[in-house]
Amino acid sequence: MRTPRAKTLALLALGALLAAAVFARVRLVPQADIGAGFVAKQVCSCVFVGGRDEQACRLDLGPDLAPVRSEQLADGVHAWVPLLASRTARFREGTGCTLD
Amino acid sequence: MRMRRLAAGSLAAGALAGLVLAIAARAAELVPLPPQPAGVPYPTQAWPEAAPGAGVDAGRLNAAFKSAFTAKGRGGVPDTRALVVVHHGAIVAERYAPGFGPQSRFQSWSMAKSITQALIGILAREGRLDVNAPAPVPAWRAPGDPRGELTLDQLLHMSSGLANADGGLGTDTFVTRLLFGEGSRDVFAYASEVPLIHPPGSFWDYSTATSMILAGVVGRTVGGGREGMLAFMRGKLFGPLGMRSAVPEFDAAGTFMGGAFVWASARDWARFGLLFLRDGVWDSARVLPVGWVDYARTPAPAPNNGVYGAQLWLNLEPKQDQFKPLPGGPASAISVNGNDGQMVVIVPTHDLVVVRLGAMQASTWPSVTGDVAAAVAAFPPLVAQE
């Protein structure tokens, strides 16, 4: 049997979870989406159009973007923030990189 | 709505009259654009190269170059990755950071806006666009829409009054959403489907979105989607100038990202600068219409603007919240600027083009412009007017 105190605690926890979810949706997801888009596009263009290696391209973006992970593909770059956002930029000869 | 439309209409007419007057008033002040020296070929194939000529302070030029490559960012790479000086139509000084060279392509950031501007100019010369006519933007064409009055001229002058200004330096701003976030899949729609917050022409505000609208207008005028636009850019601008390294980038909807994304070598950016220095003429063929460069280097008439022309910067007196593109440099200088210190500086009084490309990790705008201004100062003016 739940005591009233346990009920209050459960409600508080649920409220905190909801608040966190709303915060994530409203604040974190757009930021993560922009971050993933930025890393995917910048690294794709830097590698495929600028002709530099991926590591040098990531270094240029700086430590603030460390939470955004990226992986070079055969024809582009995929970047993501776990659980929040994911973008891919694809390279085409002549027109560089395009975000999906 | 009707009141707003009337107000917008009369304001637009007023702005147009103001523009005509402003051009008339400034025409006398604009210094002449120097012609290509006899015997020096346009760099359509290869760049002519020469030693700095008589009157050039070589010591000062060397010092400016040395200073420019001093600031080193992450990984020990100099922030200045390319520095090229073109004097009297020939490259007289050129240096690259380790790992970069004449073949390396560099990112334009906002220098792309001036490419977009040139494309509008080409279509104006061909009679396919009228800069003083309402901009053909589908989202604004409903009857009674106050945005239907907005002209290409007002867009070129960053004075649209639309609620799409870049919005500062934060992570989540209009420009970052446009380039990398929710707006990036269709920049033309995202940039144009916003309300007016100032009467058109009355308020200057820097907007990458506005340049995307201009690029979208060019794309729709040319037709053929991404491939049609690429063919137009190559056929009418990059090809004639010999900008063989230029790579324009697009969104998923096929719009040229004309506010921010063109890649080209430093030598090709110098070719683009030379086109403006030569009044839009390239090797006896006219690329930009008569008077277009003068239009571009005349300040937008909005009262809160002092240093912005048509999609490029002028080295005049800035108004509040603006900055002078080349402090200490000649007032005649025109600057094609991009994020992180990208600059193509065109100096009519000295017959110069200076290109600085790279990063801004250890350097700052004042240090970058200081180095470029120091390089310019090593050259003698053509006439003793500045």
Contact at CB, A95 and B230, closer than 8 angstroms: yes
Q: Report how far residue B45's alpha carbon sits from residue B281's, in angstroms, rounded to the nearest whole number.
A: 16
Concatenated DSSP letters of B251-275: -TTS-B-TTT-EEEEHHHHHHHHHH
What is the distance in angstroms between the Cα of B247 and the nearest Cα belonging to chain A? 6
First to last CA, chain B: 49
Q: Find, in chain B, the residue whose alpha carbon is nearest to that of A90.
A: B252
Concatenating the DSSP letter of every residue in B102-128 gives: TT-EEE-GGGHHHHHHHHHHHHHHTTS
CA-based nearest distance B252→chain A, Å: 6
> Which tokens hold the place of A19?
């608040």
Q: How many CB pairs under 8 A join A and B?
A: 83
| Contact across the interface for B250 and A95, Cβ inside 8 Å | yes
Residue A67 contacts B where some CB pair is shorter than 8 Å: no
The confidence score (pLDDT) of residue B168 equals: 79
Nearest by CB to residue B171, choosing from A34, A50, A96, is A34
pLDDT attached to residue B2: 38
Torsion angle defined by CA atoms of residues B188, B191, B195 and B198, in that order, rounded to the nearest 10 degrees: -120
| Dist CA B130 CA B135 (whole Å) | 9
Q: How many CB atoms lie within 10 A of CB B169?
A: 8
Alpha-carbon span A89 to A78, nearest angstrom: 7
Return the pLDDT at B353. 98
**What single DSSP character describes residue B137?**
-
pLDDT digits (tens, 9 = 90+) for A4-29: 888 999 999 998 888 888 877 777 88
Residue A55 lies in a domain: yes
Is position A19 within any domain? no
Query: Contact B171/B186 with Cβ under 8 angstroms?
Result: no
- Do the domain assignments include residue A82? yes
Q: What is the mean pLDDT of residues A49-58?
A: 97
Could you give the number of structural domains in chain A? Answer: 1
- What pLDDT does B354 receive? 98
Residues with Cβ within 8 Å of residue A58, at least 6 apart in sequence = A39, A43, A70
Spell out the per-residue pLDDT of chain B, length 386, in tens.
333 444 444 444 444 444 544 554 454 589 999 999 999 999 999 999 999 998 999 999 999 999 999 999 999 999 999 999 999 999 999 999 999 999 999 999 999 999 999 999 999 999 999 999 999 999 999 999 999 999 999 999 999 999 999 997 788 999 999 999 999 999 999 999 999 999 999 999 999 999 999 999 999 999 999 999 999 999 999 999 999 999 999 999 999 999 999 999 999 999 999 999 999 999 989 999 999 999 999 999 999 999 999 999 999 999 999 999 999 999 999 999 999 999 999 999 999 999 999 999 999 999 999 999 999 999 999 965 44
Residue B326: the pLDDT is: 98
CA distance A2 to chain B (A): 44
Residue A1: predicted pLDDT: 53
Kind and range of the H or E run holding B313: strand B313-314
Instruction: Look at B263 and A96 and tell me if their CB atoms are within 8 Å.
Output: yes
**Enclosing H/E stretch for B26:** helix B2-27
Does residue A53 sit in helix, strand or coil?
Answer: coil
ipTM: 0.90
* CB of B339 less than 8 A from some CB of A: no
Chain B hits for A99, Cβ within 8 Å: 180, 184-185, 251-252
Residue B170's pLDDT is what? Answer: 82
Question: What does residue B334 show for φ and ψ, rounded to 5 degrees?
Answer: -110, 140
Question: Considering the domain boundaries, does residue A3 fall inside one?
Answer: no
In a domain, A72, yes or no: yes
Q: Is B251 on the interface with A (CB under 8 A)?
A: yes
**∠ CA(B278), CA(B90), CA(B72), 5° rounding?**
105
Range of the domain at A93: 27-99
Whether A77 is in a domain gets the answer yes
Q: For the structural domain made of B2-377, what CATH number should be given?
A: 3.40.710.10
Q: Which residue has the tokens 């063929």?
A: B285
* Bridge partner residues of A80 (DSSP): A69, A86
Q: How far is CA B112 from the centre of its chain?
A: 6
DSSP B149: G
The rounded distance, in Å, linking the Cα atoms of B307 and B324 is 7
Give the separation between CA B162 and CA B87, rounded to whole angstroms. 40
List residues bridging with B355 in a β-sheet: B84, B344
- Where is A29: in which H helix or E strand? helix A29-48
Q: How does pLDDT run across A60-80, given as a tens digit for each residue?
A: 999 999 999 999 999 999 999
- Could B252 and A52 be called an inter-chain contact, meaning their C-beta atoms sit closer than 8 Å? no
Residues whose CB falls within 8 Å of the CB of residue B261, separated by 6 or more in sequence, listed in order? A45, A96, B107, B108, B112, B179, B248, B249
Interface of B with A in 172-231 (CB under 8 A): 172, 176-177, 179-182, 184-185, 226, 230
